[in-house]
Every structure is written in structure tokens, then in C-alpha cells.
Structure 1
């Protein structure tokens, strides 16, 4: 696992998946990986779980077969406008966190990127819009 390039978030996800697969607490598996870097072998079931978790993390997700051909994305201007409105309303909510109108405006501005980007939740839609 130490030789596998990964961000901290990916490494955490791999470690969590491996710990669940091996039936060990994450802290125990993390300690075993640390000991492996010092030359102490990792228990066999933990090694198998780590290899499987790394392999799963590195295997690209297949495109669902039920999804039809090319996807239509919104115009970049529309996505930028929706994202700008979201950031603007988020700043307004930061300034007035108890105002129900501002909260409603933020919820509306989150809904638009979800529809435009075809994502089920706002964080994914915003992340997809920014990329």
C-alpha cells in the first residue's frame, strides 16, 4: 500500500475498506502497515484485504450499461452562472444565518446545479461543475 500513489482521502478510503475486509479495526491495520514499512510482515488476511482494497480503488468504475450514449452537458455560461449564484447566496447566508429567505435562496441555488449537471446531491453537482 505504501508504494501505491494516493491522496490522503484515497488512502483513508483504501485503509477503511481493507480494515472492513479483514475484520480489523482501522487503527490495527494502520499499525500493521506502518510495521510493514519497518520490515515486519503484515498478517496474511490483512495483506489480502489491502491488496483487494488497492485493486478496487485503482479499477475504474464501469459506465452503467443502462445509461444511453453521449450525455448532454449545459453550456459553460449556464453552469458558471448557476455556480456563481450558489456562491453568492452562500455568502449571504454566512452574513445572515437565521434569515429564512436567505436559506430558501441557498436551497434554490443548490437545486439548479443538481439539475444542470444531472447529479443527485449538491456537493457532487458543485464538484462536477467546477471540474
Structure 2
């Protein structure tokens, strides 16, 4: 589910469809998803229902969807600030690799870039942020 970019409204529809498919209430499904985020494996029927609902949302009438809305881009100054925070945290982590506070700052800066750039992984987020901030205004 986390790898499927979707607005909150669409995500709610996907999860509701999965709950209905398995005869669960949406709160029951949400509880199972929350437990899974904390390390408890999803029951196989819930996992299957979520996968099927996500796949159905990704396709229309069995054909892959081709319409993509343009991404909502952050303010350039926000991207520059987040990128600077990331590079600063990376330098501090290189200098102090065992410091848990430095590690947490580094991970927080990566998470911020992922959210800001709308990317599911750190490498893509950093790459996109660098390209975005280097564009001429």
C-alpha cells in the first residue's frame, strides 16, 4: 500500500474495498494495517485483499492506467533547505557514525526529502531534489 502513490481519498477507497472484500469493517482493517506497521504480520486474507484492491486501483478495466496528474512540487526554498539539512546530517553522520542522535537526524532529513519530493525511496528523493533545486528559476 505504501508504494502506491495515492491521495488520502483514493487510499481510503482502496482500503474500504479491501475491507468489504474480506467482510471486515474499515476500522478492523485499519487496526490490522497499523499492527503490520509495528511488525505484526497481516493475516493472509487481509494481505491478499489489500493487494487485490491496490492492483484494481492501479488498473482500469484490466488495462494499466496511463493518466498521471503532474506532481505537486514544493517551494524551491523548502527543497533547498531540506537538501541542505540532508547534506549537513550526512557529514555529521560520517564524522560520528555511532551517535544515535546524529543517525536520527540523518534519517529524519531523508524522510523529509522523500515526503517533500513525493518519492518512495531516498536515492530518488535526493536525486530529484538536487535536480529540482538546480533548475533555473
The two structures have a TM-score, normalised by structure 2, of 0.47
In terms of Rg, which structure is larger? 1
The two structures have a TM-score, normalised by structure 1, of 0.49
